[in-house]
Structure 1
Amino acid sequence: MKLSVYATLGAAALLLSACAEPPQPPRPVPVKPPVEINGLWYLDQGWSDDARQWYYNTTQGSQIMRYDWFMALEDPQTGQPFVKSIPRYGYAAGTASGWNPNLLPVGFVKDTDPDKTEWFGMTCAACHTGDVTVNGKTMRIDGAVTTGDLYGFISGLSAAVHATVTSDAAFQPFATRVLGATATDQQKLALYNGLKAFDQSFATFVKDSTPDTPWGSMRTDAFGMIFNRVSVIDLNIPKNNRPPNAPVSYPYLWDAPHQPKVQWNGLLPNTTAFDALGRNAGEVLGVFGKVTLKPPADAAHYYYASTVRGTNLVDMENQLRKLRSPVWPDSLAGSVDIVKAAAGETLYKDNCESCHAILPRGETYSTAPIKMVSLFDWAQPDNAAAVLAAFNTICTKGVDAAVADKSISINYGADPKMAVDALCRTVDTGAIANVAMPPQLLGGTPLKNPDLAANLLSNAVIGAVFGDLVREPKLLMALLKGDDAPAPWLTASAPAGWAPESQTKGGTLDTTPLVKPGVKGTADHQKVIAALTGRGQVKPTVGAVPAGNRTVSALAKAQPTVSSKTTATKTATSADEALAAKIKELMAYKARPLDGVWATAPYMHNGSVPNLYEMLLPASQRSAAFRMGSTAIDPVKVGVDSASPAATFVYDTSKPGNRNTGHEFGAGLTDAQRWQLLEYLKTL
């Protein structure tokens, strides 16, 4: 029997234990040593510094505030430019380079419309770039979890704007910075009125985005924020707002483009470039991207105007496909204990690998296997009507009520709020009720009123992507080329004169038809439409469902194809069975490969467990509360360093959405085995 490399080297370590220099842990492929740039340490993740800086500083279409206004804004707490306060909210500070002439924090960029209006916005790098500090040295991990506090940032920005419009002593120097010293009173008055209008609208947005339980750093209710943004702001229907109370930890991005499903509950397919574009366009709309939701004027203009920069999103996704996980840096964090890691490898294979696949770092892969772990056991899993009735109880009365009536029992045990909110929330669809994206003749399903928030978001995303295809002809070719396309940063002249916002057109859409009137469309457009059709929107079923259950009636993936001889009863039964299967599939959380997991604390989908050691404990023995928010990690238990002075946010697991239950697969291990498994996890 062939011994594993860990077992072999573990035995050698025992023989050489008297040596002054312990052997280094085995690596599947050679790993370049950490590199220090501008005081930060970067690990070998397969990206060059140019690739990294391009990714940090390229717009995706987010527009928070006029760029000149933002850069002129002062933080009333510090008296300094507000842009310098962003790292105070936990976001990674930018480094000096030609790619970032204004020294913006990582993932905060300028976006320029065709009319040359400049905006300040975010990219995915803001939330998925993490600084990790150990032994006094800070590593910048690409694709890792930010320590950013999104609510803290937007509420702080709102306070700074309000302080500026409510004090002439604050407004006058602001106006001088924006307009210049020779500005007229009329110009200042126009600026004041514009800033006051922004103050009112942004304050409303912040109020409506206030969770009942603070998220703190490293987390946000992504679905809740996106649903509110599209249904409340873009549709202008305030009654659609719900407090975003199901926060999740930001997922790490290496391997993510290779997973067949994305989101913690596997809600979105991720098998084609079109799937990825739709998912990323939805992310843009959730972080201040703009979309105009109104019924298309005619078949020739069948799309929604948006600021989504599709070509940049495709380029970013292609680059992420090349991102590799960070290998535990022995020179910075301390050497792995090979003997324990050798024993831990066997424990991993026996206890973990069935859910968390191992991705050999030295091999090329196109799929990162995942496993969906069901949240519930259904009392009658083969009875579609019983599953639909249980789901109706979950959505209308809550999970506890469904447990009480014994229609479900708890299986995995993790906090279910995120999965439940994603599937159950309904909204008024307002002006675009009855609009199908794509059009019905291409397989689209009209929105009902009310309808699932997920359906509304899907409708908005597909319409925005169609609009981007009109605005940017290169987008189609970028989608078809995939990651064989030239690296975008090679076509930019950095550092001299490089302007990320100039790479992709953007702005309003008003005249260009998707296809010529009376023509079905070019072959390329038909490819895009065919690829998008059916991949996003969840189509309603016409089957028999519990009375009054709008959520259930809206959730079915597709109406089954039936012959003209099929009875209505059989049709309803088939539709119900398909719907029940989909509900069971989505009431689950994703288990993914754990390469680089050491750099991704806190753990569980909602960030409720501070370190990997506690992930191996029974839930009853985990921390009921802990501090987080610091970049410092505990290299022993591997996770957030709650003792760090910078860890100021107290995570309370008793709050709704914050439960730390579930994942008790290490509960039966001895403590010695937990430490062995922990040491092996460092090597993934």
Structure 2
Amino acid sequence: MGSSPQGAFHHLFSRQNIRRLIKLLILFGFLMSITLAIGKLYQKWDDDPDRGALAIQNGTFGEDYSTPLYLDQGWSANDSLWYYNTTQGSALIPYDFFIALEQAEFNEPFRANSLIDKYRYLPQKPTFFNPDGLPVGFVKEGYKGKDYIGFTCAACHTGQVNYKGTALRIDGGPALADMVGFLTELEKSMTRALTDAEKNERFVRNVLALGNNYSRAEEVQRDLKRWTRKVNLYNTINHSRVDYGYARLDAFGRIYNRVLEHVISRRQVRDVLLGATKADGDTNLMTAAQVDKVLDNISETIIGDLQFAKIIERLMSTDEGYPGLGMVDMERVKTLIFNEPNAPVSYPFLWDIAQSDYVQWNGLASNAAMGPLGRNTGEVIGVFGILDWTARERGWSLSSFLTGQSGKSYQIDFSSSIDLVNLSRLESHLKSLTSPVWPTIDTGTKNLEQQKANAIFGALPEWRIDYAKVRRGRKLYAEYCESCHEVVDRTDWDRILVANMSNIDVVGTDRAMAENSVNYTGYSGNFKNTYQSESVGSLVIKDRAPVVQILTAATMGEVATEPDPDKWWPRRAMDWLYLMAKSFFDNEIKASVKSGNYLADTTAAPYQSLLSYKARALNGIWATAPYLHNGSVPSIYDLLLPVKRPGDPEEGEYRPNEFIVGSREFDPIKIGLRSEGYPGFEFKATKRGDFNSGHEYGTIHAPPVEGQPQEPLTDSERWDLVEYIKTL
């Protein structure tokens, strides 16, 4: 006899089954506690006293330095090393390739410290967690039985300043890295390994000698061609007419493009290609027959890196039946699918990030509930997580339910290399990171590393704090700065940092990043006609939609998918349950309304609040040059100067419109980095994305604050304010 639904319900929640469920939950909690305890113990195994740092001789721009010192930031040696060497699922190229690859113009290894230092990453010596001596933030990632070289958080968020041969390493500080230059150099080196007979022979031999993932020369050659094509594709899609140089990256623009590449459907690509025209706007670039030949055997649903590379190769092919497009026409096609990442910003510093209510330069990401996991997932999408997104037949899954795909004829399966568990652990790890304290003889610290730094720098007159100036500067800070940049206790465990948002029309700084985040659009693929909940209500994702909607849907799908397909499925399920519980119950940041002077979202403009920039506490700001969100001002002192406008007196002092970036040599007077007299990257504040305008508080161009005009700072007052900022 069949059972009724009511009977099944009562059976499910019988006392016996409830007892079983309680026992399972207790067992689950016990197993997770043991796993976490083992993880914490393992985390402390690498305790190299130098934290892997090493001295550099014959450094870039003539900057030699001794083994870097560390300041008191709340982390021990093993805390730093675990942060440097914990994978998040990034996979740039096969690991064996990175180890065996030579530089394009030399026979030296690509991974040589000289090249790493050239692009301003930080060389390291071998340690327990890093036996191959990879640079800070480079790590071996294992995925589906293969090893890859990838980036960790530390690659972009570990800084260093030098002074007369002595270096200070800044955990969580902004990197000075030139990622675009590094990836361009990587593409050149891989292309030479593919096309130069001698280099190719050595490369294949050296990869096979590693005895790791490759056993036959044919496999190496096949993958070398495949991965060279992928790196070329990435660089081509993300080419920008705005040069980033050192210390900046348009991370959001690149994340947006990577999502679009993996979401767009074959139908949408076909529509784009059929509609593409020449410069006259009337003549089609290709015929329907040519388009269909280009798309022959291309997936109906998800396309991704390799198939996109194949499409590009076919579009440019001069073989019979293909369009044979040149570079000018290819650029037209590219702009129909992707957006130019032309809004580079400084790498943000990470101390206090776990205690912040909203993060990203324009406050795009809430830090409440699942916010940190979604934010970090989006970051790994941008730094080469392997996105094995495929289409499967209609069925039920949490990811399809949350992304609105339940009623679709097919649904995206968000399998990937992204390590959600490690992302959660890294976010928790950052809770104990504190901002760096200016090294001065007067701090009275008990931290031995800070004492060492204090003894060296505190003895130098130019590093000593003038406390008479500090007292005057504190009053000026309260008058001119504190309404936006609150003063916090850097060690207060219960601190919450409230982002103070300023409308871009009010703050006046370069608009590119904020406007791109809202205005960039792309093809939504299988997310078309799904619903997305925003603060103003539910929005329908259109065929061509704001990329912020598409990114939100993609990261939601990733987070709702059981992590790490390499693990046994019960372990994946346990990890996922742990992540969900941790996000909701261990995250002390609760959902809240944004603070500040910004335009609120409306039903007509649901992302209007993102046309703002965030002001945050300035503790540790001395170690984060260059300044403003786009790195357009070389020092704190220069930031207190106005931008010269037509009609301003010639004899006045103004922000520099040109300066050199790339040196780590610190200026302890103005608080910045060396900005002239060496052959680094020449920054010019002359185009959108590079403008150094705005944030002119305390200058002759100061906007009213709360309706009241501000008196310009005198030169002596500027120096008092700089002196106080050193102490934050």
Which residue in 1 is equivalent to 2:671? 638
Moved more, 635-644 or 600-609: 635-644
- The amino acid across from 1:43 in the alignment is L
Which of 191, 202, 205 matches 1:176?
A: 205
Which residue in 2 is equivalent to 1:666? 698
Secondary structure of the residue aligned to 2:162 is: strand
Secondary structure of the residue aligned to 1:603 is: coil
The structural deviation recorded for 1:298 is 3.5
Which structure has more relative contact order (CA 8 Å, sep 6+)? It is: 1
Secondary structure of the residue aligned to 2:160 is: strand
- The amino acid across from 1:662 in the alignment is G
CA contact (8 A) 1:616 1:665 kept: yes
Is 1:112 the counterpart of 2:164 in the alignment?
A: no
CA contact (8 A) 2:358 2:498 kept: no
Inter-partner Cα distance in structure 2 for 1:263 and 1:681: 23
Which of 343, 350, 354 matches 1:246?
A: 343
Q: How does 1:337-356 map to 2 (within 5 A)?
A: 337-356=466-485
Inter-partner Cα distance in structure 2 for 1:637 and 1:446: 50
Q: How does 1:82-101 map to 2 (within 5 A)?
A: 82-84=110-112, 85-101=115-131
Q: How does 1:48-87 map to 2 (within 5 A)?
A: 48-84=76-112, 85-87=115-117
Which of 610, 614, 617 matches 2:634?
A: 610
Render the CA deviation track for 1:438-493: whole Å, top value 9, x for unaligned: 9x9xx9866321111111111111111111358532243245346999xxxxxxxx
Inter-partner Cα distance in structure 1 for 2:216 and 2:667: 54
Which residue in 1 is equivalent to 2:358? 261
CA contact (8 A) 2:263 2:524 kept: no
Which residue in 2 is equivalent to 1:655? 687
CA contact (8 A) 1:318 1:482 kept: no
- The amino acid across from 1:648 in the alignment is G
Q: How many residues align?
A: 526
The structural deviation recorded for 1:586 is 1.9
The structural deviation recorded for 1:612 is 0.1
Secondary structure of the residue aligned to 2:105 is: coil
The structural deviation recorded for 1:640 is 1.5
Which residue in 1 is equivalent to 2:657? 624
Inter-partner Cα distance in structure 1 for 2:488 and 2:543: 45
Q: Kindly report the root-mean-square deviation, in angstroms, between the aligned alpha carbons of the 2 structures.
A: 3.0
Inter-partner Cα distance in structure 2 for 1:453 and 1:322: 34
Which residue in 1 is equivalent to 2:164? 135
Inter-partner Cα distance in structure 1 for 2:193 and 2:631: 36
Inter-partner Cα distance in structure 2 for 1:671 and 1:175: 62
The structural deviation recorded for 1:196 is 1.2
Which residue in 1 is equivalent to 2:63? none
Which residue in 2 is equivalent to 1:570? none
- The amino acid across from 2:378 in the alignment is G
Which residue in 2 is equivalent to 1:509? none
Query: Relative to 1, partners in 2 of residues 1:444 and 1:63: Cα closer, same or farther, differing over 3 Å?
Result: farther
Secondary structure of the residue aligned to 1:74 is: coil
CA contact (8 A) 1:234 1:291 kept: no
Inter-partner Cα distance in structure 1 for 2:373 and 2:504: 29
Inter-partner Cα distance in structure 2 for 1:62 and 1:154: 15
Inter-partner Cα distance in structure 2 for 1:310 and 1:83: 28
Q: How does 1:543-554 map to 2 (within 5 A)?
A: none
Is 1:598 the counterpart of 2:622 in the alignment?
A: yes
Which of 547, 552, 561 matches 1:458?
A: 552
Query: Relative to 1, partners in 2 of residues 1:181 and 1:228: Cα closer, same or farther, differing over 3 Å?
Result: closer
Which residue in 1 is equivalent to 2:239? 210
Moved more, 219-228 or 291-300: 291-300
Which residue in 2 is equivalent to 1:538? none
CA contact (8 A) 2:256 2:547 kept: yes
Inter-partner Cα distance in structure 2 for 1:651 and 1:158: 24
Is 1:314 the counterpart of 2:424 in the alignment?
A: yes
Secondary structure of the residue aligned to 1:191 is: helix
Inter-partner Cα distance in structure 1 for 2:360 and 2:394: 34
Secondary structure of the residue aligned to 2:529 is: coil
CA contact (8 A) 2:263 2:526 kept: no
Q: How does 1:316-331 map to 2 (within 5 A)?
A: 316-330=426-440, 331=454
Inter-partner Cα distance in structure 2 for 1:328 and 1:53: 23
Moved more, 427-436 or 366-375: 427-436
Which residue in 2 is equivalent to 1:415? 510
- The amino acid across from 2:492 in the alignment is E
Is 1:474 the counterpart of 2:575 in the alignment?
A: yes
Inter-partner Cα distance in structure 2 for 1:125 and 1:181: 27
Inter-partner Cα distance in structure 1 for 2:530 and 2:392: 8
CA contact (8 A) 2:418 2:563 kept: no
CA contact (8 A) 1:57 1:106 kept: yes
TM-score by length of 2: 0.68
The structural deviation recorded for 1:40 is 1.2
Secondary structure of the residue aligned to 2:236 is: helix
CA contact (8 A) 1:420 1:587 kept: yes
Inter-partner Cα distance in structure 2 for 1:172 and 1:195: 12
CA contact (8 A) 1:260 1:270 kept: yes
Query: Relative to 1, partners in 2 of residues 1:81 and 1:340: Cα closer, same or farther, differing over 3 Å?
Result: same
CA contact (8 A) 1:74 1:160 kept: yes
- The amino acid across from 1:347 in the alignment is L
Which of 372, 379, 382 matches 1:276?
A: 372
- The amino acid across from 1:670 in the alignment is T
Inter-partner Cα distance in structure 2 for 1:482 and 1:584: 27
Secondary structure of the residue aligned to 1:109 is: strand
CA contact (8 A) 2:636 2:671 kept: yes
Instruction: Specify every segment of 5 or more residues in structure 2 that has no aligned partner in the other structure, as ranges.
Output: 1-48, 55-66, 265-302, 309-333, 400-413, 441-453, 458-462, 566-571, 594-598, 645-653, 700-711
Is 1:363 the counterpart of 2:492 in the alignment?
A: yes
Inter-partner Cα distance in structure 2 for 1:44 and 1:262: 24
The structural deviation recorded for 1:365 is 2.7
The structural deviation recorded for 1:80 is 1.6
Inter-partner Cα distance in structure 2 for 1:597 and 1:153: 27
CA contact (8 A) 1:319 1:483 kept: no
- The amino acid across from 2:185 in the alignment is G
Inter-partner Cα distance in structure 1 for 2:564 and 2:239: 36
- The amino acid across from 1:285 in the alignment is I
Q: How does 1:569-580 map to 2 (within 5 A)?
A: 577-580=602-605
The structural deviation recorded for 1:41 is 0.4
Render the CA deviation track for 1:155-192: whole Å, top value 9, x for unaligned: 11000000000011111111111123999x99323321
CA contact (8 A) 1:413 1:662 kept: yes
Secondary structure of the residue aligned to 1:112 is: strand
Instruction: Specify every segment of 5 or more residues in structure 1 that has no aligned partner in the other structure, as ranges.
Output: 1-33, 377-410, 486-526, 536-554, 558-576
- The amino acid across from 2:694 in the alignment is G
Inter-partner Cα distance in structure 1 for 2:180 and 2:215: 35
